[in-house]
Amino acid sequence: MRLLLVLLLAATPAFGQSFRSAQHDFRLVRVVEGLDQPWSVAFLPDGRMLITEKRGRLRVAAQGRLLPQPVAGLPQVTVHGQGGLHDVVLHPQFEKNHLVYLAYAARGADGVGTELARGRLSGERLEDVQVLFRQSPKGSRGQHFGGRIAFDRAGFLYLTLGDRGEMARAQRPADHAGSVIRLHDDGRVPADNPFAGKPGWKPEKLTLGNRNMQGAALHPQTGVLWTHEHGPQGGDEVNVVRPGANYGWPVITYGVNYGIGTKIGEGTQKPGMQQPVHTWVPSIAPSGMAFYTGERFPRWKGSLFVGALRDQMLVRLTLDGEKVVGEERLLQGAIGRIRDVRAGPDGFIYLLTDASSGFLARLEPGP
């Protein structure tokens, strides 16, 4: 009985507990519980929140309470390995058009792959749902769906795609896998995409050579898209996205083959291939990413926050332009696997935990 009590206490999130960092004391506050493998959160203008669950449900949270019925009208989601319902993002002009964008895994004739859809939120239902993008080809494996969405200041939409567990696909021009995709908000391909009109290339591709990106955010000063991606047994990366750039996977990587630790590809550098701005060796398994620009934690302004699945922590990166000059590890082992990180409109930092009994928590100034 005593051992059981110790295990239960160790597994209980430290809500209300004070934590210290190099710049701020903070405490962890519970916002919403009862989530089943939550993946992403978006903040509605009226104070409610939309939260995706991997199994294909879009939940609404209001005043700390999870509404019992999920949002109706979603596209068909396929749960396959790591794939399911992933990101949820509001259109930049949501208050006028009420458009919600979803990234998710879906089945087609050639397997399962990542798709992008949008619908108009009306009460607790999505209406006029349109599929804007379908990954092609799809695949049979259960890994590396990517699935983060971001809008830039000009209104272009970005979707991250993984290599689907088949590393060579990330270097193939006629394959969406292992790329950042760039679209207009209605799914049209921008004429100035780097490979648009180039024979043998998928015109939606903005990059190639990415392994599995599960974090995407715009730099608050430059407006440039940053992403991070999982490496193999080491070599997780933070990258600044450049149109037409090749990020090297699997030709170059700071990771090694699982289990046996042998070299992958040609090394860590090659002319014509981008270097990351930051790497983690060994892996932390990054997921979710947000730049902090709020007023609640003034000394954290400009920091890049990254969630970690494997090491169950929140990482704060200090930046000097496009250089990472410092790293601080917070909440290590305190709340479990962190799937998403968001800077809320109220200036607090929000975290989603990846668990069958997951929750949404926020960081507030402490003690």
User: What are 24-38's pLDDT values in tens digits?
Assistant: 999 999 999 999 999
Please give the pLDDT value at position 12.
54
Domain that holds residue 50: 13-365
Q: Is residue 215 part of a domain?
A: yes
**Any idea what DSSP says for residue 273?**
S
Mean pLDDT (the chain) is 95
d(CA 366, CA 14): 13
Residues with catalytic annotation?
A: 144
Q: Is residue 330 part of a domain?
A: yes
Tell whether the model's pLDDT for residue 7 goes beyond 70: no
Total of domains in the chain = 1
Q: Is residue 4 part of a domain?
A: no
d(CA 249, CA 237): 11
Tell whether the model's pLDDT for residue 5 goes beyond 80: no
Please give the pLDDT value at position 87.
98
Alpha-carbon Rg of the chain, whole angstroms? 20
Q: Is residue 313 part of a domain?
A: yes
Place of tokens 């921008």: 190
Q: Is residue 151 part of a domain?
A: yes
> Taking a C-beta distance cutoff of 8 angstroms, is the pair 53, 35 a contact?
yes
Question: How far does Cα 198 stand from its chain's mean position?
Answer: 29
Please give the pLDDT value at position 72.
98
Q: Is residue 336 part of a domain?
A: yes
Q: Is residue 57 part of a domain?
A: yes
Q: Is residue 100 part of a domain?
A: yes
Q: What is the CATH number of the domain that holds 267?
A: 2.120.10.30
Please give the pLDDT value at position 17.
87
Percentage with pLDDT > 70 across the chain: 96
**Any idea what DSSP says for residue 261?**
-
Per-residue pLDDT tens digits for 249-279: 999 999 999 988 899 999 999 999 999 999 9
> Taking a C-beta distance cutoff of 8 angstroms, is the pair 302, 366 a contact?
no
Mean pLDDT of 316-321: 97
d(CA 104, CA 127): 17
Tell whether the model's pLDDT for residue 3 goes beyond 70: no
